[in-house]
Amino acid sequence: MKKIIYILIILFFSCYSGISQYWEEQTSGVTVQLTSVSPISPTNIWVCGYSGTVLRTTNGGTNWSNVSGGGIPNTVSLVNIWGIDANTALVAGYLGSDTWVWRTSNAGANWVQVFSQPGGFINGIVMKKNQPLHGFMQGDPVGSRWSLWKTSNGGINWDSTGCYLAQNGAEAGWNNSIFIGTQSLYTLNLDSSIWFGTNNSRIYYSTNFGVSWVSQSTAPEVNTYALGFLYYGEGNGLAGGTNLIRTSNFGTNWSSQTSVGTGNFSGFVLFPAPVDYGYCWYTRNTTSIYKGSHGSGWAIEYTAPAGNYRHFTNVRNGTVCFGVRSNGGITRCNYFFQGLFKQVQIIPVSSVYPKTIQTRSTRLRISDFGLQISDW
């Protein structure tokens, strides 16, 4: 009797189903207000807050080290931090009407003051992904011009040459309301794109790393406390003051978007993977984290036990995000693919190869790969 032998020919496979989230609370060891988080990778993260507080972890937050002091006064309120690597970071803070920036190159053992400005307020520091020692710093206007500075040596020196941007009226900015490149994809051609928010119904946007700027109207929304962009062909972005706005052309036009919750927006995470393109999250100055799809359909996904979220962002490349809160709380989330969907076609070998052949087969199971198949 002629045996019919079948071969499984995989015509194609594609990633499928949604993403599964795992939210966890971490022990920071402090109760002061935390104001900014800078996740370099899923394992290396820097955090800052009031009372001169700086925290770091090298194991994804399983353990947090308090690296405050070492040159940073405990009377200073730190409001923005950028980690360059596991050992190097820049942190900005203020006391009264003066502002400073400190830098560490030895994992926080010592902090060196690299910038000061009377009457100023530094809102944010960002560095290029492809040239991580090249950075940009933005602060409130002093002397009727925005405080804009560049560095080419990892923040050791700062120069404002060629960074002139006139103040419009009495406008000012907001700490952490600055964005460079795009979330996760961060393509090379956008590594010089910078946006920062104001209290003047406008966002400032530069495509050439601060050489020139255009203003993007956010009216009727007056304040932009937080913003985030995703490059996947269209230039999608979200921003918010007390209301949510969105763009699909890198901010040339902003429109109102329905949202849920109350309080000022404090952070956005946009997920770029093609399989789940469109998932996004935001925080407000409350205990909740909200999830939506394509900028709409928002609902509470996670609620912290206490403390309001002050900043929320994701790692520069990857699927992990962190949020810091007003009571010293830190939340971590790993959002990851839940499964794969494969389409296969079974074709009899005899139909294409009639000769008798010796075969040996091995049955593979989805469980062998630790995968799940689920509908979405």
Given a cut of 90, whether residue 171 has pLDDT beyond it is: yes
Asked which of 5-14, 18-27, 127-136, 227-236 is least confident by mean pLDDT, the reply is: 5-14
Report pLDDT for 368. Answer: 35
Dihedral of alpha carbons 87, 124, 303, 373, sign: negative
* Bigger pLDDT: 270 vs 86: 86
Grouping H, G, I as helix, E, B as strand and the rest as coil, residue 350 is: helix
Alpha-carbon span 354 to 362, nearest angstrom: 22
Alpha-carbon span 356 to 168, nearest angstrom: 83
Given a cut of 50, whether residue 10 has pLDDT beyond it is: no
Report pLDDT for 265. Answer: 98
**pLDDT tens-digit readout, 131-140:** 999 999 999 9
Domains (ranges, CATH) in the chain?
Answer: 6-369 (2.130.10.10)
20: pLDDT confidence band, cut at 50, 70 and 90? low
Dihedral of alpha carbons 267, 288, 91, 269, sign: negative
Total count of residues recorded for the chain: 376
Report pLDDT for 39. Answer: 97
CB-based burial label for 337 (10 Å; 0-12, 13-18, 19+): middle
* Bigger pLDDT: 333 vs 181: 333
13: pLDDT confidence band, cut at 50, 70 and 90? very low
Report pLDDT for 278. Answer: 72
Alpha-carbon span 186 to 169, nearest angstrom: 33
Summarize the confidence of residues 4-26 as an average pLDDT.
51
